[in-house]
Amino acid sequence: MKILISGITGQDGYYLSLLALKKKLEVHGIVRRNSQKTYGVWEYDPTNKEKIRFYYGDVSDKTSLDSIFRSVKPEMVFHLAAQSFVQESWSNPEVTYDVNIKGTLNMLNSFREYIPDGKFYNACSSEVYGKVEDELQNERSRMWPRSPYGVSKLAAYWTCINYRESYDLFVSNGILFNHESPCRGVEFVTRKISLAVAKIKLGLQKELKLGNLEAKRDWGFSGDYVLAMYKMLQQDEPDDYVVATGETHSVKDFVKTAFETVDLDYKDYVVTDPKYLRPAEVQYLRGDSTKAQKKLNWKPKVKFEELVEMMVKADLERLSRHEASCR
Ligand code: NAP
Ligand code: F7E
């Protein structure tokens, strides 16, 4: 059984690949060429890197996708590639739309052309809810995105549904709430915090500058969430699912817990900097994953406190060993 992953060099691409390798699937991944010929998180896991078949391609370049789909002919496609940083989407809205909307359309068209009987997963996001109305957001909640990123994910979500309905394709959307890990990109708030806490503890940094401390997120563990993605493609019918823990915590809660992990008080180190405030903010997210729990028999395992501790400890170890491994 062959799977093809776009965005394989990112956080979820890494954990999904590890899961697929464990299940003895053949893993093929699309990588953007860069001047150093590096493969993101895989550089720190050479043993598993050798088991992956990488292909140069870009989701905004349909020609590159066609040639990959034609030669791999995968049974399952996980489309994870995206410009995924919300803050960046205000500075680079065109790139965000090109990659996230046109890129998804390109992936769907190659999928339809070369493997119409295959299965396709699309990485949608809780950012589509944005200005939330419901205390708990589920598949039926109103979608009102608050950033170019959120708008792009909403457009891609509907494009997937439209392709499913128009061409009778197996295309499923996972509406995933925030999920983190030691492999999380360093600009996202959780990893920015865990890295800073580790550096401060080791005397390598003096303060931590953050934006809105009151924003609340439903944070889970990436390793748990990739299992939900996989399960969506094991169903007989395509569908859309919310994947979340059902708990919400503020950025301040995350900071406080992270500093407590190393016996420090965040109030001594955290300063707010307007530079990190967003033109429009998503203040509150809390997901209701009842449908995924019932239909996919999926449940998150890692709790909030465990996640924070896992990330801080990983960064402490990494810095102490002068290594960058992120598993
Ligand atoms: P990530 O770490 O930022 O990874 C994004 C991946 O997309 C990277 O491999 C990146 O390659 C690749 N990529 C970006 N532009 C591309 C292009 N034009 N062509 C080909 N590849 C491209 O993101 P993640 O956290 O793993 O998230 C995976 C997906 O889930 C994304 O679609 C994200 O929007 C969505 N999502 C994430 C969360 C979350 O909390 N993590 C929640 C909901 C939805 P490079 O390594 O070359 O940059
Ligand atoms: O921000 C606040 C910020 O950038 C979380 C992506 O994976 O999840 C992620 O999007 C919150 C926001 O993630 C800083 O204002 C405060 O309220 O870690 P973040 P995000 O925007 O929620 C969704 C589900 C995705 O789909 C996205 O791809 O934290 N915040 N101070 C800060 N955020 C950052 N980055 N940096 C700060 O200094």
Return the axis-axis angle of helices 62-72 and 103-114, rounded to nearest 10°.
30
User: Is 125 known to be catalytic?
Assistant: yes
* Bridge pairing between strands 240-243 and 76-79: unpaired
CA distance 235 to 138: 20
Structure confidence at residue 153 (pLDDT): 99
Ligand 1 pocket, 11 CB below 6 A?
yes
How far, CA to CA in Å, does 50 sit from each of 8, 26, 244, 274?
14, 12, 32, 44
Q: Which of helix, strand or coil describes residue 240?
A: strand
Rounded to the nearest angstrom, the gap between the alpha carbon of residue 306 and the centroid of all alpha carbons in its chain is: 19
Ligand 2 binding pocket (C-beta < 6 A) is 84, 86-87, 125-127, 177-178, 187-190, 192, 210-212, 215, 217, 251, 276, 278, 281
Residue-wise pLDDT for 116-137, tens only, equals: 999 999 999 999 999 999 999 9
At 325 the pLDDT is 58
- Cα 267 to its chain centre, rounded Å, is 30
State whether residue 30 is helix, strand or coil.
strand
According to DSSP, the residues that pair with 241 across neighbouring strands are 174
* Strand stretches in 82-215, DSSP E: 119-125, 170-176, 179-180, 208-210
Q: What is the DSSP letter of 137?
A: B
pLDDT at 321: 80
CA distance 309 to 258: 7
Q: Domains of the chain by range and CATH?
A: 2-180+219-243 (3.40.50.720), 189-217+248-284+303-319 (3.90.25.10)
Distance of CA 215 to the CA centre of its chain: 19
Q: Over the stretch 176-204, which tens digit does the pLDDT of each residue have? A: 999 999 999 999 999 999 999 999 999 99
Tokens 């078949």: give the residue.
Answer: 53
| Pocket residue to mutate for ligand 1, from 84, 98, 100, most atoms within 8 A of Cβ | 84
Q: pLDDT below 50 — which residues of the chain?
A: none
Atom 1 of ligand 1, residue of closest alpha carbon: 10
**Bridge-partner residues for 85, per DSSP?**
none
Task: Specify the pLDDT at position 327.
Answer: 55
Q: In the prediction, which pLDDT does 58 show?
A: 98
Q: Which amino acid appears at position 314 of this protein?
A: A
pTM above 0.85, yes or no: yes
CA–CA separation, 57 vs 304, rounded Å?
Answer: 36
The kind and range of the H/E element at 250 are strand 249-250
Specify the pLDDT at position 323.
63
| Contact present, 128 and 176 (Cβ < 8 Å) | no
d(CA 3, CA 53): 10
Cβ atoms of 300 and 234 closer than 8 Å: no
> What's residue 303's pLDDT?
98
Do the beta carbons of residue 154 and residue 145 sit within 8 Å? yes
Q: What is the pLDDT of residue 8?
A: 98
> Which ligand 2 atom lies nearest to the CA of residue 213?
16
- pLDDT tens figures, 218-252: 999 999 999 999 999 999 999 999 999 999 999 99
